[in-house]
Amino acid sequence: MKRSVAVIGVGRSDWRGEDARVRAGEKPHDAHGYAALALRAALVDAGVDRGAIDGLIVGPNVAYERMGEILGINPRWGSQAGDAGQALAQACSAIESGYAEVIAVIHGTDQRSAGAQYGGANAVSGNRFLAYVYHAPWGFTSQGALYALMFQRYRHLYGFDEASLGAVAVAQRVAAMLNQHALLHKPLSIDDYLASAYLCEPLRYPDYCLVNDGGAALIVAEAGVARSLSRSLSHHPAFILGLGRADINSDSTSLQPRLIDFYRPAQQIAGQASFDMAGLGPTDMDVLQVYDSFSLHVPLALEGYGYCEPGEAARFIADTGISLAGGLPINTSGGHLAESYMHGWNHQIEAVCQLRGNCDARQVSDCRFVHYCSDVSGKAVSIVYGHSDN
């Protein structure tokens, strides 16, 4: 599958403007509308019209058939995906199998204006797939409680302190301040972080992802089609060089995979598969994009995907660095903590833009390879991107 698929277009809605309107009590769009806005921008970016799309993959917050109806797309192949990594894996498989050549991968959410709750009796998705719903009788209903418990065990094992976790939030806030699309532009220092209140001890407000409305879209194409279309554009395609996935479902309702091994076995399998396919390794990566519904994802990903040994994340963050100032830049757009919570889709957009070299003040010099990784509910996905010159 190496280099058989490329991203030729990306698009986003105006997260900042729309979030301001939501705060003012307005609801500009529903999830389908946000997705449609993002796709329109992605089609322009890719230099193709809607008629070129013969595949459609939508995220979990919109109805697949309704989305196709709104867009006027009758694809040869289509699907619904759980998150961005899974959506791209499906797109690669469909193109490699010959089911489609140009696939629109889109996501839309109105979680903020709809008042989505991520804890309590009405927690969204809790009755469908989130393992901690089984612990609801004891008051354990939120992602924040889950990751707080994970962090308690992790720091007990390895001595990882709160200041080291705060360094993640600080680095991503600095990146967001250089990103005109990001929602959080207020400076954040380590002292600010440590002075902020706990939401679910030991996690503080800056450790939590945003909750906002918006849409994001990617146009994914077969490599030959991508090269042909890119000749008329000012930017080059971003090729998918490696892809891996591994799931851990055993004992998930007891939370054991999260609390005992922090999903590390699945991360290792998925990461190694993607690096083997790409013929690369962690030390070759110029940028790392980590799905970060909570800041804790970052140290766990550094260890699980081979950037450092288990228990060494704090040292890596302090000595190597994870900011735009040097080392291994992580979540260079601000990520879910400070740019926008788009369930991993905004990380894909940032990966493509870094490879194109059009990230302005937050651009990583000579960016050749970008790694995206996630471990949502035990579904570990690893994607290695590279530009056309690699």
pLDDT in tens, 284-298: 999 999 999 999 999
Decide if pLDDT at 215 tops 70. yes
According to the 3-state scheme, what is the secondary structure of 262-309? CCHHHHHHHHHHHHHHHCCCHHHCCEEEECCCECCHHHHHHHHCCCCC
In the prediction, which pLDDT does 133 show? 66
Decide if pLDDT at 51 tops 70. yes
pLDDT in tens, 112-164: 998 888 877 777 654 455 566 667 777 777 889 889 999 999 999 999 999 99
What are the backbone dihedrals phi and psi of residue 219, each rounded to the nearest 5 degrees, phi first? -105, 115
Q: Which helix H or strand E contains 372, and what residues bound it?
A: strand 369-376
Task: Flag the least confident range among 208-222, 228-242, 283-297, 364-378.
Answer: 228-242
Burial of 202 (C-beta count, 10 Å sphere; 0-12/13-18/19+): middle
Architecture of domain 1-116+211-233: 3-Layer(aba) Sandwich (3.40)
Residue at token pair 């992605």: 42
In the prediction, which pLDDT does 247 show? 94
How large is the greatest C-alpha to C-alpha distance in the chain, in angstroms?
59
Interatomic CA distance for residues 273 and 229, integer angstroms: 29
Interatomic CA distance for residues 347 and 179, integer angstroms: 13
**Helix, strand, coil abundance in the chain, percent, nearest 5:** 45, 20, 40
* Spatial contact of 47 and 9, defined as CB atoms under 8 Å apart: yes
Cα separations in angstroms, 340 against 115, 146, 222, 317, 335: 16, 21, 29, 23, 7
Q: Do 120-207+241-390 and 1-116+211-233 have the same topology in CATH? A: yes
**Assigned CATH topology for domain 120-207+241-390:** Peroxisomal Thiolase; Chain A, domain 1 (3.40.47)
State the average pLDDT over residues 320-334. Answer: 96
Other Cβ atoms less than 10 A from the Cβ of 65: the count is 11
How many Cα atoms occupy the beta-carbon half-sphere of 200 within 13 Å?
18
In the prediction, which pLDDT does 128 show? 52
Interatomic CA distance for residues 387 and 29, integer angstroms: 34
pLDDT in tens, 225-266: 998 887 777 788 999 999 999 999 898 878 888 889 999 999
Query: What residue segments make up the domains of the chain, in order of their start?
Result: 1-116+211-233, 120-207+241-390
In the prediction, which pLDDT does 118 show? 81
Cα separations in angstroms, 131 against 56, 153, 341: 29, 18, 21
Q: Which helix H or strand E contains 246, and what residues bound it?
A: strand 238-247
pLDDT in tens, 156-204: 999 999 999 999 999 999 999 999 999 999 999 999 999 999 999 999 9
pLDDT in tens, 61-92: 999 999 999 999 999 999 999 889 999 999 99
Average pLDDT, the chain: 92
Query: Given pLDDT bands bounded at 50, 70 and 90, which one contains residue 389?
Result: low
* Amino acid identity at 329: P
Sheet holding 214-222, edge to edge: 77-80, 55-58, 102-109, 214-222, 5-12, 238-247, 379-387, 369-376, 287-290
State the average pLDDT over residues 54-65. Answer: 95
Other Cβ atoms less than 10 A from the Cβ of 134: the count is 14
Interatomic CA distance for residues 285 and 1, integer angstroms: 19
Decide if pLDDT at 216 tops 60. yes
Hey, which residues does 330 pair with through a beta bridge? Answer: 288
What are the backbone dihedrals phi and psi of residue 60, each rounded to the nearest 5 degrees, phi first? -75, -15
Interatomic CA distance for residues 176 and 136, integer angstroms: 35
Cα separations in angstroms, 159 against 163, 167, 199, 300, 327: 11, 15, 21, 14, 22
* Spatial contact of 303 and 264, defined as CB atoms under 8 Å apart: yes
Decide if pLDDT at 373 tops 60. yes
Interatomic CA distance for residues 279 and 383, integer angstroms: 13
**Peptide bond between residue 310 and the one before it cis (omega within 30 degrees of 0):** no
